[in-house]
Amino acid sequence: MKHEKTVSSQWSLVIGDWSVVIGDWSVVIGHWSLVIGHWSLVSFHQSPITHYPLPITHYPLPITHYPLPITHYPL
């Protein structure tokens, strides 16, 4: 059930079960997981959906919001 995304383009939006893949870092929300750069925070079935209650109306996000430096994500 693990979603693996690889992207080399500057910005792409993929909506499967909620996935956003952008440039060198990616936010993948399939069964609710966050993957950025070389580190990853994975919480497929371990975290409640309430942790990521993002309506589809939040997408697409303007390209001006991206790319975000990995320094914004020191998790």
Task: Name the nearest CA neighbour of 74 among 28, 20, 36.
Answer: 36
Identify the pLDDT of residue 44.
35
Identify the pLDDT of residue 17.
43
pTM, 2 dp: 0.14
Domain spans of the chain?
Answer: 12-72
**Model pLDDT for residues 42-70, shown as the tens digit of each residue:** 333 333 333 443 433 344 444 444 444 44
Percent of the chain residues past pLDDT 90, beyond the cut: 0
Map 5-74 to HEC letters: CCCCCCCEEECCCCEEEECCEEEECCCCCEEECCEEECCCCCCCHHHCCCCHHHCCCCHHHCCCCHHHCC
Q: Is 4 helix (H, G, I), strand (E, B) or coil?
A: coil
